[in-house]
Chain A
Amino acid sequence: MLYGRQLILPDLGKSGQLKLKNTSILIVGAGGLGSPAAIYLAAAGVGKLGIVDYDKVEKSNLHRQIIHNETREGISKAQSAKMTIEGLNSLCNCVAYEILLDSLSALEIVQQYDIVVDATDNVATRYLLNDACVISGKPLVSGSALRMDGQLTVYNYKGGPCYRCLFPKPPPPESVLNCADGGILGVVTGVIGCLQALQAIKIATENDESPNNLLIFSATSYPLFRSIKLRSKKKDCVICGDHPSITKLQDYVQFCGSGALDKSPSVKELGREDRIEPKVYHNLRNETPHVLIDVRETVQYEICSLPSSINIPLKDLPKRIEDVKKLLETPNTSVYVICRLGNDSQHAVNILKNYLKGEVKDIIGGLYKWSLEVDQEFPIY
Chain B
Amino acid sequence: MSLLKIKLSFSGGIELLFDNIKQKSVEIPSSINPPNSTTMKDLISWMKDNLLKERPELFMSGDTVRPGILVLINDSDWELEGELEYEIKDGDDIVFISTLHGG
Chain B residue numbers with a CB within 8 Å of A145 are 100, 102-103
A230 within 8 A of B: yes
Contact with B along A111-152 (1 / 0, CB 8 A): 000000001111100100000000000000001111101110
Known interface pairs A146-B101, A221-B11, A231-B80; 11 further A-B residue pairs with C-beta atoms within 8 A, sorted by A's residue number: A31-B103, A146-B102, A169-B67, A171-B99, A172-B57, A172-B66, A174-B58, A214-B70, A228-B72, A228-B95, A229-B76
Q: Kindly name the residue among A168, A169, A184, A216 whose own CB sees the greatest number of chain B CB atoms within 10 A.
A: A216
A166 within 8 A of B: yes
A189 within 8 A of B: yes
A238 within 8 A of B: no
B101 touches A178 (CB 8 A): yes
A172 touches B103 (CB 8 A): no
6 A–B contacts from the bound complex (CB under 8 Å): A32-B102, A119-B103, A145-B102, A146-B101, A175-B98, A227-B75
B102 touches A177 (CB 8 A): yes
B77 touches A150 (CB 8 A): no
Q: Which 7 A-B pairs have the closest CB atoms?
A: A171-B68, A169-B67, A144-B100, A33-B103, A179-B102, A146-B102, A231-B79
A120 touches B76 (CB 8 A): no
A182 within 8 A of B: yes
For A149, the closest partner residue in chain B by CB is B12
A182 touches B13 (CB 8 A): yes
Interface band, chain B: 20 to 34
* Assembly CA distance A320 to B95 (angstroms): 32
Contact with B along A181-224 (1 / 0, CB 8 A): 01010000100100000000000000000000010101011000
Chain A residue numbers with a CB within 8 Å of B72 are 228
Q: Which of A145-167 contact B (CB under 8 A)?
A: 145-147, 149-151, 166-167
A151 touches B99 (CB 8 A): yes
Q: Smallest CB–CB gap between A296 and chain B, Å? A: 15
* Assembly CA distance A121 to B103 (angstroms): 5
Of the candidates B22, B69, B77, B100, which one forms a contact with A228 in the assembled complex, judged by CB atoms under 8 Å apart?
B77
B54 within 8 A of A: yes
Given known pairs A166-B70, A171-B67, A231-B79, the reply for A189 and B11 (CB within 8 Å) is no
Contact with B along A31-53 (1 / 0, CB 8 A): 11110000000000000000000
Residues of chain A at interface, number, CB under 8 A: 48
B84 within 8 A of A: no
Q: Smallest CB–CB gap between A29 and chain B, Å? A: 6
Q: Kindly name the residue among B57, B66, B103 whose own CB sees the greatest number of chain A CB atoms within 10 A.
A: B103
A226 within 8 A of B: yes
Chain A residue numbers with a CB within 8 Å of B80 are 229, 231
B97 within 8 A of A: yes
Chain B residue numbers with a CB within 8 Å of A227 are 75
Q: Which of B16-57 contact A (CB under 8 A)?
A: 22, 54, 57
Chain B residue numbers with a CB within 8 Å of A177 are 13, 102
Of the candidates A175, A216, A218, A229, which one forms a contact with B77 in the assembled complex, judged by CB atoms under 8 Å apart?
A229
B102 touches A144 (CB 8 A): yes
Chain B residue numbers with a CB within 8 Å of A167 are 67-68, 70, 99
Q: Which of B72-103 contact A (CB under 8 A)?
A: 72, 75-77, 79-80, 95, 97-103
Q: Kindly name the residue among A126, A166, A171 whose own CB sees the greatest number of chain B CB atoms within 10 A.
A: A171
B58 touches A29 (CB 8 A): no
* Assembly CA distance A226 to B23 (angstroms): 14
Given known pairs A166-B70, A174-B58, the reply for A121 and B102 (CB within 8 Å) is yes
Of the candidates B22, B75, B100, which one forms a contact with A151 in the assembled complex, judged by CB atoms under 8 Å apart?
B100
* Assembly CA distance A137 to B84 (angstroms): 32
A304 within 8 A of B: no
